Structure 1
Amino acid sequence: MTITGVVTDVLCNGNSNGIITINPSGGTQVFQANWQPPASGTNYTVANLPAGTFSVIVTDINNCNATGTFTVNQPSPIYVYSSTTPAHCGIDNGTATIDSINGGTPGYTYIWSPGNATTLTIDSLASGNYLINLTDNNGCQVTTNAYVTNIAPPSQITFIDTNAICNGTNTGSATANVVGGLAPYTYLWSDLQTTQTASALAAGIYTVTVTDANGCTFAKSTVITQPNPIVVFVSGADSICLNSYAVNISVNASGGTFPYHYFWTGSGITNPTAQTQLVSPDISTN
């Protein structure tokens, strides 16, 4: 007695949808089939089988028997290999690419999520996770992910400013301190200085553009101020007659930066740094 059979392999790796159908011949009918574990049953056909090797013993009416052994195969697991390029500088310019597919049954289709693209490469991506849902020729599916990282640009610039000391002078400075991005940084100020600290600044608005090691840029402006011009007000008698009493002449100032320091010049000045002077007729001042 011989046992032949038809095997239907598992469609997808790990599934249990294999089928074996036997056809005994020779011997004397009627035949009785007895499947051995892990299969079970007495039918000529057993279904819902995982991949593996299965045996059946067939006995005829004369108690003669034969054993048949059959192997149910399955496709290899599906592996999707992908790569990404990062999103640079806060711009949606990352990419994700399916590099290769192994296993399963060729004749693959794939769809990306979000976006529903069906190309090998997707672009103009923000940082984040992107899913690949792949289906092979047997309808077997696998889902994997591709993660697009983010190369963050500088996120902030803080300034340490020194304002101009006197009105109309270029004694100010500004130092730019960068937060975020990747050091080292390069600097370009609106007056074309290229150091972290811009010096010899007059009053005005200055903008610095910072470029980090990844080529990401960030720009911010700061204001250098200056004091108002110093204005001097002198109060007292405009003229003094001979042989008259001495009079007081006082000086007041505005603008500049308080406190003020005074210095009188002229004949007979006894306290040149006093705000008020006592002036006699024989004393001239300037």
Structure 2
Amino acid sequence: MKNKLTYYAGVLCLIFSFTTANAQLLPCILHPVGEVTIEPSGPTEFCEGDSVTLCAFPEGPGFTYTWKDIITGETLSTEQCLTVYESGDYYVRVFNEFGCHSECTPTTVTVNPNPVCSIEGPTSFCVGDEVILTAPAGYTYLWSTGETTQSITVTEGGTYSVTITNEFECSATCSVDVTAYEIPVVTIEADGPTEFCEGDSVTLCAFPEGPGYTYTWKDIITGETLSNEQCLTVYESGNYYVRVFNEFGCHSECTPIVVTVYPNPVCSIEADGPTEFCEGGSVTLTAPAGYSYLWSTGETTQSIIASEAGTYSVTITSGFGCSSTCSIEVTTTPGPEAYITPGDTTICKGRKVILIANAGVGYTYQWYKNDVLIPGATNNYYKTQQPGVYTVEVTSADGCSAISAGSTVTVILPPTLSLNTPDGLDLCPDGEVLLEIVTEAGATFQWYFNGSPIPGATGNTYTATEVGEYTALVTNSAGCSTRCKGITVVNSCRLGNSAEGNSSLEIYPNPAEGMVKLSIVLDESARVILEFMNMEGQILHEEIMQDVHTFTKEFDLSSYPKGVYFLTITTDLQKITKKIVLQ
């Protein structure tokens, strides 16, 4: 029927003509679809990611299906079955071959959301460390390790997964790869001994080495960072360790290495006196006690004696083998020359020799005999008549001194002699007296009469023919002389006859020191000539006295030099001479 809409309602059909706009209610035949049902293939409440298949019934040839979302009215499928993945109210309209259709009660499908799974925490660490992996809060958990806590502690590398389940029993699984990096095995190598002396050093190098490694050196006591280089040069005592990092930031430390730096000894040289002194002097140089020693002189004692100018150094070494060297300058000043003129000298006993030292500006002197200081002998000359070895110490203006070589003074004894008068000492007119000297062989002689040499009288004997004093100078082969004691030849004979007179001349005291007393006794009164003479026969005092028979007189001879003198009294008949010794 053209241009008609037909609605089936019960057994009557309302036919409406769009052309004529007329409607007729006529009996009709019904072809019902039957009861429409939806059968799900599983639960209609499930988790996101699952699905349920809804199948419409009845089924068979001639049926067609229209699936719709009840909310949007959107046609979802025209198949008998609809696979549903999302929440919603789903219904289906089933048509038979007659075009009749029927619908069923909508089926509600609920899709519960899956939890969002994630794992928080570091994904790498160093062997020996650990990391904590944490899943989202609010769920139940099952880790691949079997643990059921929100967080787990991981100490090994690997893949770690967790399944989290929400209140809808929906689960999600996630995983993370955790890497455990190996830590470096650290060693320290020293380029030399770790015990050494102050001023030396040792270089410590850390291993392993290579790209990606970094280093941190520290002092274990202070914790101070000393260097970030692979090697550290150490100059001081301490406990040193290094932390080595690889490219992953993993680090390790080694056992600290102990460096011991021994102090060097403090070197000094002490002098026991001035280090500037005169040639011939010396000074003792001493190093500190408690060490071993090596001086620049080669000596190995604590102290040495320095007697020459120069630089003296010593190296002292402690028990740790640490050494220190110091030095001291020693200066010497040249001393003066010292010598004696003449050198070795021989003199005769009783004579003196003058020893003269060399002269110099500002020089002072001290004489010694047989190495014994002579008090007061401080001139540049010294007179002596004593035998011995004489030296002189000459000191210059700067205080330096020198001692001369010894000058030996030898004293030769004069010859010993005796004077014989075989004929006696009385000489009568026209008579003679023999004088004889006995002494050592080789001697020479010179006779004197009243102090004057007798020409040609050079033998050991002499015949006296005149009244007076006779002496002789005897010289031995060494040139030393002795004057024999004077002897007086007197005339005891009276003039004109040979009778022996009884006149006398006495002098006392004799020897004398000044005052002497004369006593003259003559045979008869006579004119007397009194003469006082020296050894040379020079008349020093003369008196003439008349009519003398006995005579006593004092003479003061203290004004005359010490020595031998003669006193003579002469009368017309005789001449008497006496020797006087003044002390």
Task: Tell me which structure has the larger Cα radius of gyration.
Answer: 2
Instruction: Give the TM-score normalised by structure 2.
Output: 0.28
Instruction: Give the TM-score normalised by structure 1.
Output: 0.49
Higher relative contact order, chain-length normalized (CA < 8 Å, sep 6+): 1
